[in-house]
Amino acid sequence: MVTYIKAIQDDPRQAAKASKLVESLTPTEPGFATLVTVMELFWVLTASYDLSRVQVVTVFDAVIRTKQSLVEQADQVLRALRVYGAGSTVSPWSVIPDS
């Protein structure tokens, strides 16, 4: 998922492979991101790539709203991102039960 994000395509060969895979997904054969995957993606975007809050929320909003992917507990992830996007210093994942 990280390699597919346009702002992070730092390896052209890997980016091409990631793009091919993600763009092959369809509403009838979607990709699936577990909550662990979502949390890891959040960590990578904020810690390794230093994306702004706005950029992180934009990425996740696009991932969640596309018909080509399903996100585990998507409603709770959106709620967590609203907390994060509003500037809270509390972990966005604290609003997701059992995370």
Mean pLDDT by 10 residues, the chain (99 residues): 74 86 91 91 86 88 88 89 83 68
Residues 6+ apart with CB under 8 A from 41: 1, 2, 33, 59, 60
Tell the burial category of 45 from Cβ atoms under 10 Å away from its Cβ (0-12, 13-18, 19+).
buried
pLDDT at 95: 65
Which is nearest to 58 in space by CA: 3, 12, 14, 6?
6
pLDDT at 6: 66
- pTM for the whole thing? 0.79
pLDDT at 98: 63
How far is 81 from 21, CA to CA, in rounded Å? 26
